[in-house]
Structure 1
Amino acid sequence: MASPTRFNLTEHSPTFWRVTFDNPPVNLVDGAFTDELNELFSRAEGEDVSVVVFDSADPEFYLAHYDLSAKDELDHVLAHPEEVHPYTALLTRITKLPFATISSIRGIARGAGSEFLLDTDMRFASREKAVIGQFEIGISAIAGGGPATRLPGLVGRGRTFEILYGGLDMDGARAESYGYVNRSFPDDELDGFVDELASRISSFVLQTIRDIKHFVNVATLRPDAEFKDQMDAFWAAVNRPAQQHVAERLFDAGLQQRGDVERDLPQWVTRFQYSPDSEQD
């Protein structure tokens, strides 16, 4: 595969790979991210990979969220409603990859970033430096990547509503207590634990890993068809005045740039909430 532009690949061994997100300024998810990961997964499926760890080169941002400036993408989605969005397809593919996947979370993982880690097999977080949440209600949109389907099995119905209705962040310790992540660790212990676990998994017979994943998926995965409707609802919201009102003001304030807006997004969205009178501002 060509050299990726959204992440770095480290092949620790033929069975243990690491994907390190590296897409300044804030590690946005976009079409290139999706394409490059699909290409990587196709290569990994043809080799003897047993485990892939996903982490970030930026200690402040794991995956900030989806690139909300993708106007051409919105136009395509609205013109082709029959298509499954590529990011939806990528997320459902992750759940079925024939090897173990681990998110090692340090920094902000909101929106599409949170949705990404929810589709990996295991999630481990820095207690102090992980920031996880679904902020989309604050921009008058549904979370499109399937957390309404993924979260109830992890955190329960009530906490799913709290996460999606509240649109607030949680740190690694709270995420652990809710079941959003497997475990959280003091920041200086996270890498050592994840590396030790991944190395252990990589030493086992690949077919056994594949068999375990198959039977856990049979017991836990929802039908793929559920996810298309959620992503369609997200992009429909992006085309409405309410979302555009908030997004325009957030971009003016510094959205998708390294700064206070991205660091404290759930609080910034409350400054620009939409009402019919807003169109006259």
Structure 2
Amino acid sequence: MAQLRIERDNPALWIATFENPPINLIDPDTIVELQALLAELETDAVVKVIVFRSADHDFFLAHWDVLADKRRTAEMPPGPSGLHPWLDVLVRISRAPVVSIAEIRGRARGAGSEFALACDMRFASLERAILGQFEVGVGAVPGGNPMVRLAGLMGRGRAMEVVLGADDFSGAVAERYGYVNRALPDAELSAFVDGLAQRLAGFEKHGIVHAKSLLDLASLPPDAAFPPALAAFFQSVARPGAQARMARLLAQGLQRRTAIELSLGKAVAE
């Protein structure tokens, strides 16, 4: 079953909706679908904007599926960037010749947060959005190097708070910290994002692509910043301490629609 539903009613504005029950975990199939989508975004002459949404208002993208086939994940071939496929997705969405917008309702933690950070813009629901990098709380290192993106967005101290504190951040705090562009009342979020996306879709693609590429030069980390973080992630999750913490959380309901997943920032510190 496909995890991404792509709407192309307006050829210049695509809508991608995540739907991977029970809580929109990211797994190797998610990566494969995102790589296929990126190949289209990089070559389509008409599309200018893509909006990412979730069909589940409690979870935008929960986090990486820790029970996914580790051999399959390790053996996935590098993407066109030459990087591991997950890193490939993150760097290519940032550099794609379209504007990517994450509309965040529900939880975007771990790899879900990494994906949102890789998008060009992020808009969050005041009432429903929760963002965070919980990995340090389970003895791991975030693998998609959100550290380098967060430091650029919010400064070193706040990036330390997000990554090392491993806690949940509401939409309001995320806006104040620069984690997201804006946090809006939930009832207004989609209309705002649609309005901005339609505005951009009405502009000339040439101007969007070239202005974005110059912003990329000024603001994006080099691709070489990402592989060391993924290597550190794989090493850290193999440690006995991390495995014990993860096993405890799995036993308590991690990866299921439970109180643990709804309040993961609190759970990792208990």
TM class by shorter chain equals: over 0.9
In structure 2, list runs of 5 or more residues that go unmatched: none
Aligned to 2:189: 190
Calculate the TM-score normalised by the size of structure 2. 0.94
For 1:222-253, what per-residue CA distance to the aligned partner results, in whole angstroms no more than 9, with x for missing partners? 11111000011011111110111011111111
CA distance in 2, matches of 1:171, 1:105: 11
Once residues 197 and 109 of structure 1 are traced to their aligned partners in structure 2, the CA distance between those partners, rounded to angstroms, is 22
Partner residue of 1:22?
19
Unaligned runs of 5+ in 1: 272-281
Q: How many residues are aligned here? A: 264
Amino acid at match of 1:64: A
Q: Name the amino acid aligned to 2:28.
A: G
Deviation, 1:75, is 7.8
Q: Determine the C-alpha separation between the residues in 2 that align with 1:179 and 1:76.
A: 33
Matched, 1:39 2:36: yes
Q: Partner of 2:208 in structure 1?
A: 209
| Letter paired with 2:29 | A
Cα distance in 1 for residues equivalent to 2:66 and 2:120:
27
C-alpha distance in structure 1 between counterparts of 2:174 and 2:215, whole Å: 22
Residues 131-165 of structure 1, C-alpha deviations (whole Å, 9 max, x = no match): 00000011101111111100011110000001111
Distance in 2, Cα, partners of 1:270 & 1:132: 16
Q: Shift of residue 72 of structure 1?
A: 2.5
Does the 8 A contact of 1:74 with 1:235 survive in 2?
no
User: In 2 relative to 1, CA 93–75 (structure 1 residues): closer, same or farther, beyond 3 Å?
Assistant: closer
Structure 1 position 169 matched with structure 2 position 176 = no
**Aligned-pair CA distance for 1:93:** 0.8
Give the counterpart letter for 1:90 in structure 2: V
Residues 75 and 182 of structure 1, relative CA distance in 2, 3 Å threshold? closer
After superposition, what is the alpha-carbon deviation per residue over 1:20-53, rounded to whole angstroms, capped at 9, x for unaligned?
A: 1100000011111111111111122222110000
1: distance between equivalents of 2:221 and 2:264? 30
Q: Relative to 1, partners in 2 of residues 1:111 and 1:75: Cα closer, same or farther, differing over 3 Å?
A: closer
The residue that corresponds to 1:160 in the other structure is 159
Deviation beyond 6 Å, 4+ runs, structure 1: none
Matches within 5 A, 1:33-72: 33-47=30-44, 48-72=46-70
List per-residue Cα deviations over 1:89-116 (Å, max 9, x = no partner). Answer: 1101111100100000000000001110
Cα distance in 2 between the residues matched to 1:248 and 1:84? 29
Distance in 2 between residues matched to 1:73 and 1:210, nearest whole Å: 38
CA contact (8 A) 1:110 1:133 kept: yes
Distance 2:42 2:136 in 1: 36
Query: Could you tell me how far 1:73 is from its partner in structure 2?
Result: 3.6
Report the Cα distance in structure 2 between the residues aligned to 1:105 and 1:50, rounded to whole angstroms: 20
Q: Check conservation: 2:138, 2:245, Cα contact below 8 A.
A: yes
- SS at 2:190 equivalent: helix
Q: CA deviation at 1:74?
A: 7.8
How far residue 213 of structure 1 moved from its aligned partner, in angstroms, is: 1.0
Shift of residue 212, structure 1, vs aligned partner: 1.0
For 1:1-281, list aligned pairs within 5 A.
5-47=2-44, 48-73=46-71, 76=74, 84-271=83-270
1:92 maps to amino acid = V
Q: Percent identity?
A: 45
User: TM-score normalised to the size of structure 1?
Assistant: 0.91
